[in-house]
Amino acid sequence: MAPETPGNEPQALSNLLQENRRFAPPANLAAAANVTSAAYTEAAADRLAFWESAADRLTWAKRWETTLEWNAPFAKWFVGGELNVAYNCVDRHVEEGRGDKVAYHWEGEPEGDTRTLTYNDLKSEVSKAANALLELGVRKGDRVAVYMPMIPELPIAMLACARIGAVHSVVFGGFSATALKSRIDDADAKLVITADGGYRRGAPSALKPTVDEAVAECPQVEHVLVVRRTGQDVATNDKDVWWHDVVERQSDQHTAEPHDAEDPLYILYTSGTTGRPKGILHTTGGYLTQTAWTHHAVFDLKPETDIYWCTADIGWVTGHSYIVYGPLANGATSVIYEGTPDTPHRGRFWEIVQKYKITILYTAPTAIRTFMKWGDDIPAKYDMSSLRILGSVGEPINPEAYVWYREHIGHDRCPVVDTWWQTETGAIMISPLPGVTSGKPGAAMRPLPGISADVVDDQGNSVPDGGGGFLVIREPWPSMLRTIWGDDQRYIDTYWSRFDGMYFPGDGAKRDSDGDLWLLGRVDDVMLVSGHNISTTEVESALVSHPKVAEAAVVGATDPVTGQAIVSFVILRGTAEEGADIATELRNHVAKALGPIAKPRQILVVPELPKTRSGKIMRRLLRDVAENRSVGDVTTLADSTVMDLISEKLPSAK
């Protein structure tokens, strides 16, 4: 179902927040940047030629004939071209003499549990895994479900699938047996790759029993390939084969055959806000072109000297595009960390930055707000002088979180790049360029070269500078989803029906008086208060700008007078006292920052907020609480006990 504007009289989003801070790129970074402002000019002059030159950064077995075939809304990029994704991510670096370079420094959650994989190592491991998949009967076009912790065998499994043309479908290691089963069924996967378990908050956490439960009801699954990670006891059955039995004995030689540019690479399920999960389909040539180019441009990656760390889970699209495909295609050295930021202590991330001398860090606003809550003194204990670029992804970054990230992690030396994109877009779409853009805290700034993003009103007309409305993409881009797996009609209905001829991602946005873009959250979350559409993001950012507030989530609850009224859930900073006056203080603070229209009706102090595994706040569940309904589907929550904690706090509602 396409997202709708709530209320009967949708109108442009009110534009409330004023932000005047600016951060110019450091001169030395600008002088040596991979991409300069010329890229915008070139792409504006000839968008397709721009993407052709980005595609030329890859190694093609056969060059394409047509750059784009567009039968709206179905795109084919680099038509007739052939390449192998695994060859591009691994073999070509070995062939070009970079085999001894480290591809991944892997840091397990238990301290001291580490592995280092060079591009040579990766080539042998991926080749062995590819040979094992073939032995297990997996062929080009077959689907393989992958349900694993953050261990090196996860990217190895993905690349092995890509190498032989099998389509992987990675399912978050935290999802339930029911969620896993429905994804295995939807993609009709014949093999599941998993592990006995992984480490989570200092203890082994089992995965295999969940797979057993799911696979018991999936007759189409022929084998389950199991990595031994924790060594815990696992029940085995006749579909199970151990990775160390089947993969280790394979030859480390495998010739990567070229695949068509439009052959499927992977499916990744995204739940969206409502309904059945959607299997987002990505293909080969365009996806790798855009993930590799954006990783090179947005992070200014210098493969010889940078040590890059993206803290996302590989089960999220951020991990697919910016831990696996983009960085490897560029020959980067990356860090992969298995565990959580607070294991065994709250300085673990900064210890990792110090240990590996990380130069580029890519993380999410939810993590940044957590670090703010834990206190400035924790990162201050570590040497973070190696850092040069900081990235953010997943939600709008509140201006205060941006400024904290710049100051306490980047020591005011490092540009912050706020990158807007989605599972569906495959790669970054809107972001500053670190050597070009003067950043504004909270703004994703401009569409990248080659991307035609716009903000439109309810009728689909472009809004003037200073206006707010709906984000749209006007032209196809190389890493766009090709369809929803098995459901072209749902693809059309969900993304291409709200505005004629435009892709609608479901996000609200505003364009400020300089023409820069600010993302304002999902339009399903927009509140309609006395006839004004108000974005949850802006009210949340106003709350987070109060020194006592660490995190905030805001929803619109039905109100007899104003239609909807603003209800806020806040987590206070470590040192802040709850106190009787906090609600009044925060309500007045918001009114002062944004105007009286945005003043919350209620402020509820809570210990936690409901979040997905990728850290997005699930406002739908808070809306249920605010409107006194029983709480809806919680299957995609990272921690399903959070809603109980919140409900317990309700009698103290202010």
Least distance (Å) from ligand 6R9 to the CB of residue 189?
Answer: 21
**Is 507 marked as a binding-site residue?**
yes
- CA–CA separation, 499 and 501 (whole Å): 6
Q: Which of 492, 485, 487 is nearest to 188 (CA)?
A: 485
Q: Which two tokens mark 397?
A: 């970054």
CB closer to ligand 6R9 out of 363 and 423: 423
CB of 474 to ligand 6R9, least distance (A): 17
Which of residues 250 and 334 has its CB atom nearest to ligand 6R9 in the complex?
Answer: 334
Q: Is 421 near ligand 6R9 (CB under 6 A)? A: yes
- CB atoms < 10 A from the CB of 266, how many? 29
Residues 427-466 that bind ligand 6R9 (CB under 6 A): 444
Closest contact distance (angstroms) between CB of 454 and ligand 6R9 is 16
| Of 23-31, 413-421, 557-565, 568-576: span binding ligand 6R9 (CB under 6 A) | 413-421
What is the pattern of x (binds ligand 6R9, CB under 6 A) and - over residues 245-284?
-------------------------x--------------
**β-pairing, 203-206 with 197-200?**
antiparallel
Distance in Å from the first CA to the final CA of the chain: 36
Tell which one of 284, 419, 533, 545 touches ligand 6R9 (CB under 6 A). Answer: 419
C-alpha torsion 200→203→208→214, nearest 10: -50
Q: Specify the residue, 46 or 633, whose C-beta has the smaller distance to ligand 6R9.
A: 633
Strand-strand pairing, 74-79 and 66-71: antiparallel
With beta carbons less than 8 A apart as the criterion, state whether 125 and 104 touch.
Answer: no
Give the one residue of 199, 266, 420, 495 binding ligand 6R9; rule: CB under 6 A.
420
- Judged by CB under 6 A, the residue of 422, 562, 588, 602 near ligand 6R9 is 422
With CB under 6 A as the contact rule, the residue among 168, 510, 522, 623 that binds ligand 6R9 is: 522
144 marked among binding-site residues: no
Spatial distance between the Cα atoms of 8 and 6, rounded to a whole number of angstroms: 7
Quick check: 135 and 254 in contact, CB under 8 A? no
Among 379, 394, 467, 563, binds ligand 6R9 (CB under 6 A): 394
Task: Give Cα 323 to chain centroid, integer Å.
Answer: 11
Nearer to ligand 6R9, 285 or 506 (CB): 506
Cα distances (angstroms) measured from residue 496 to each of 380, 452, 458, 488, 504: 47, 15, 14, 11, 6
Residue 629, marked binder: no
CA atoms within 13 A on the CB side of 3: 20
Q: From residue 83 to residue 122, what is the string marking binding to ligand 6R9 with x (rule CB under 6 A)?
A: ----------------------------------------
Q: Is 474 annotated as a binding residue?
A: no
Scanning 208-216, 223-231, 381-389, 421-429 for contacts with ligand 6R9 by CB under 6 A, the matching segment is: 421-429
Regarding 386 and contact with ligand 6R9 (CB under 6 A), the answer is: no
- 394 has binding-site annotation: yes
| Kind of pairing between the strands at 278-283 and 223-227 | unpaired
**184 or 519: CB nearest ligand 6R9:** 519
**Residue 395 in marked binding region:** yes
H/E run at residue 182? helix 177-187
If the CB atoms of residues 14 and 250 are measured against ligand 6R9, the closer one turns out to be 14
Residues 6+ apart with CB under 8 A from 47: 450, 452, 475
The span of 327-335, 388-396, 447-455, 642-650 binding ligand 6R9 (CB under 6 A) equals: 388-396
Exposure of 371 in the CB half-sphere (CA atoms within 13 A): 27
**Has 317 been labeled as part of a binding site?**
no
x-or-dash string of contact with ligand 6R9, 299-338, rule CB under 6 A: -----------------xxx--------------------
Determine, following the binding rule CB under 6 A, whether residue 610 of this chain makes contact with ligand 6R9: no
563 is in an annotated binding site: no
Q: Which stretch binds ligand 6R9 (CB under 6 A): 63-71, 73-81, 419-427, 603-611?
A: 419-427
Task: State which residue, 318 or 564, has the beta carbon closest to ligand 6R9.
Answer: 318
- 392 phi/psi in degrees, rounded to 5: -135, 145
Q: Which of 300, 338, 418, 457 binds ligand 6R9 (CB under 6 A)?
A: 418
User: Which residue type sits at 287?
Assistant: Y
Opening angle at CA 422, ends 426 and 606, nearest 5: 150
Q: Would you count residue 491 as binding ligand 6R9 (CB under 6 A)?
A: no
Any contact of residue 393 with ligand 6R9 (CB under 6 A)? yes
Q: Return d(Cα 484, Cα 489) in angstroms, integer.
A: 8
Tell the smallest beta-carbon distance from residue 469 to ligand 6R9 (Å).
Answer: 15
Task: Name the 3-class secondary structure at 652.
Answer: helix
Question: What are residue 612's DSSP bridge partners?
Answer: 637
**Contact criterion met (CB below 8 Å) for 171 and 141:** no
CA distances to 76, 539, 541 from 597, rounded to whole Å, are 47, 11, 15
77 is written with which tokens? 């990029």
Q: Whose structure tokens read 């040579």?
A: 120
Structure tokens at 642: 């959070």
Binding residues with ligand 6R9: total (CB under 6 A)? 21
DSSP state of 563: E
CA angle 640-230-164, nearest 5°?
90
Stretch that binds ligand 6R9, among 223-231, 472-480, 505-513, 627-635 (CB under 6 A): 505-513
Known binding-site residues for ATP equal 394-396, 418-423, 507, 522
Known binding-site residues equal 200-203, 318, 394-396, 418-423, 507, 522, 530, 544, 546, 549
Binding site for ligand 6R9 (CB under 6 A): 270, 316-318, 393-396, 418-423, 444, 505-507, 519, 522, 614
